[in-house]
Amino acid sequence: MLRGRGVSSGRVAAPVVHLAPPLPEPDPDTLVPPADRDSEVSAIEWAAVAVADQLRSRTAQATGETKAILDASRLLASDPELVSEATALVRSKGRTAARAVWETAVVHEKALAALGGRMAERIADIRDVRDRIIAEILEVDMPGVPERDDPFVLVAADLAPADTALLAGGRCVALVTVQGGPTSHTAIIARSLGLPAVVGVADAQAIPVGTMVLVDGDRGTVEVAPAESRIAEARASANTVGFDGVGALSDGHRIPLLANVGGAADAKAAASAHAEGVGLFRTEFCFLDRAEAPSVDEQVTAYRGVLSAFPGRKVVVRTLDAGSDKPLPFANSDSEDNPALGVRGLRIARRRPQLLDDQLVALARAAAAEAAEVEVMAPMVATVDEAGDFAERCRSAGLDRVGIMIETPSAALLAAELFEVVDFVSLGTNDLAQYTMAADRLLSDLGDLNDPWQPAVLRLIAAVGAAGRAAGKPVGVCGEAGGDPALAPVLIGLGVTSLSMASRSIGRVAARLQELSVADCRRAAEAAISAISAGAARAAASSALDGG
């Protein structure tokens, strides 16, 4: 039994597959003697055909973004120029098959980079095809999330944002990583896809490929080679709690329960789970693998995909939160020593105001074309001036309902003044915990500090709740804390007026809230906030509600 930290609930059993490591650059000094060159040439030709075939069948099964990515790669793999240039390098220079493909790709990448703009974006496609063909030649797995026909548990040191883009629609049924904290993007994506996940499992990579494991995302355990009866039990317990679409306490007090989404597919799933709207649309998730900023038109299409799932309902769109654990190559510089404390979120507009203004124009167009009630908010706000400037930009773009996320202790302490310039706030408890406790949210070693139950975090939330009540304005929570059925009542008692979470958490939170009144929530909040540790706060809230 291996232990880590459960970050996405559910239990599932399947054989292990490891995230394939990046392919090393093939050695330029190995020369193929003339007599062997024919077989190297045919290795390239066969590999290109095999890759095009694989991509053709995968494209046929895929949908949406994944389909588009695969389709672009398939076209390139079938490009006769790529193959003929690589085979020429084998014949004329004696390069190995793998090296010849690599060098051919480099020439194409340079040409595309020189063209810039949309063409430069195709560099990622060239690299993808290059790696697929080389992996086929060397008979190793393609780097990244392996493609399999049967369900598997993915084991990795950690996942890059681009790896996670291909998880949707694949056969991966659970994630186990060595690194990563409860609020890392890996954890967030696992929750949004409903994949059980355990992070911080030190020995995960020692589990041999093909070994059956039972991943328990609630307990944070990975059982290696479990008994058949345990596997059958896990299959039987794979059920979620339903939601009727109206979040309320037992006394009828309404608490809208909204969904966190990262794109159109999530939004559709959220609508089918009866979410009352979207409390956090993480727009950066639409563009994680982009080298160049998306055009306004592309953005309009991506945003409409989400808005169209919620006609007449609230959709809170967050402007790009690029940086830190979600770097976007077109928005962030990679030279920062402390990216979590660097130019991320709204701060990017200091250097690149056009990026924000383009996004607001795209949002206004998407909002005009759809029937959702669009609200816009900015991530990583620390000062009242930043919030005021953001609100002005939004309003001049024609977006009327403007808010900010409260993710820094500074914003929490200035909540009263912030309410003078914005219409609502939403507590990003993942970052608020990270910055309050000075504990990197990606480090599983610091998971105990990076905990929204920490009294210092709860007290900041209380300050924001009080400011919201005084201003008569809404205070949402869209950090992962909102999806915890034990913490949700405490948040409401502290003055939170709506909760937004991964869709699959909504049923369980709704069921818990239906058992409690406003008075119960206040009692739980008072008990938790007077505690001196996270553990004591949990225990105090639980005994205030259930007597122990």
- Give the H/E segment covering residue 38: helix 37-61
Q: Distance from CA of residue 445 to its chain's centroid?
A: 21
- Our answer to whether residue 478 is catalytic in this structure is yes
d(CA 274, CA 184): 26
CB contact at 8 A, 210 and 16: yes
Q: Residue 478: which of ligand PEP, Mg ion, none does it interact with, CB under 5 to 8 A by kind?
A: ligand PEP
d(CA 404, CA 398): 17
Q: Residue 87: which of ligand PEP, Mg ion, none does it interact with, CB under 5 to 8 A by kind?
A: none
Catalytic residue among 108, 185, 274, 286: 185
d(CA 109, CA 130): 11
Quote the DSSP letter at residue 218.
T
Is 6 one of the binding residues for Mg ion (CB under 5 A)? no
Cα torsion angle, 417, 422, 423, 425, sign: negative
- Give the H/E segment covering residue 269: helix 264-272
Is 323 one of the binding residues for Mg ion (CB under 5 A)? no
Minimum distance from CB of 447 to ligand PEP (Å)?
15
Residue 210, Cβ density class (10 Å: 0-12 exposed, 13-18 middle, ≥19 buried): exposed
**Residue number, 17 or 280, with CB nearest to ligand PEP:** 280
Identify the bridge partners of residue 16 per DSSP, sorted by sequence position.
153
Catalytic residue among 172, 286, 394, 478: 478
- Our answer to whether residue 521 is catalytic in this structure is no
C-alpha separations of 326 from 162, 189, 270 in Å: 10, 12, 22
Residue choice 6, 180, 200, 428 for contact with Mg ion (CB under 5 A): 428
**Residue number, 214 or 381, with CB nearest to ligand PEP:** 381
In sequence order, which ranges of 78-184 are alpha helices (DSSP H)? Answer: 80-93, 97-115, 117-120, 123-138, 161-165
Q: Of the candidates 362, 361, 355, 356, which has an alpha carbon nearest to the alpha carbon of residue 301?
A: 362
Is 431 one of the binding residues for Mg ion (CB under 5 A)? yes
Is 440 one of the binding residues for Mg ion (CB under 5 A)? no
Which string of x and - marks every residue 504-523 that binds Mg ion (by CB under 5 A)? --------------------
**Residue number, 320 or 544, with CB nearest to ligand PEP:** 320
Q: Give the strand pairing for 11-18 and 402-406.
A: unpaired
Minimum distance from CB of 451 to ligand PEP (Å)?
13
In sequence order, which ranges of 289-377 are alpha helices (DSSP H)? Answer: 296-307, 348-351, 353-369
Place of tokens 């390139």: 76
In sequence order, which ranges of 116-182 are alpha helices (DSSP H)? Answer: 117-120, 123-138, 161-165
**Residue number, 103 or 407, with CB nearest to ligand PEP:** 407
**Residue number, 6 or 428, with CB nearest to ligand PEP:** 428
Minimum distance from CB of 407 to Mg ion (Å)?
5
Only one of the segments 256-264, 301-309, 400-408, 439-447 lies at the binding site for Mg ion (rule: CB under 5 A); that segment is: 400-408
- Grouping H, G, I as helix, E, B as strand and the rest as coil, residue 231 is helix
Q: Residue 305: which of Mg ion, ligand PEP, none does it interact with, CB under 5 to 8 A by kind?
A: none
Q: Residue 468: which of ligand PEP, Mg ion, none does it interact with, CB under 5 to 8 A by kind?
A: none
**Segment 173-232, which members bind Mg ion (CB under 5 A)?**
none
By CB under 6 A, name the binding residues for ligand PEP: 183, 188, 280, 282, 321, 407, 428-431, 478-479
**Residue number, 97 or 187, with CB nearest to Mg ion:** 187
CB contact at 8 A, 148 and 154: no
Q: Residue 429: which of Mg ion, ligand PEP, none does it interact with, CB under 5 to 8 A by kind?
A: ligand PEP
Is 480 one of the binding residues for Mg ion (CB under 5 A)? no
Q: Residue 98: which of ligand PEP, Mg ion, none does it interact with, CB under 5 to 8 A by kind?
A: none
- Which residues of this chain interact with Mg ion, rule CB under 5 A? 407, 428, 431
Q: So which residues are the catalytic ones?
A: 185, 478
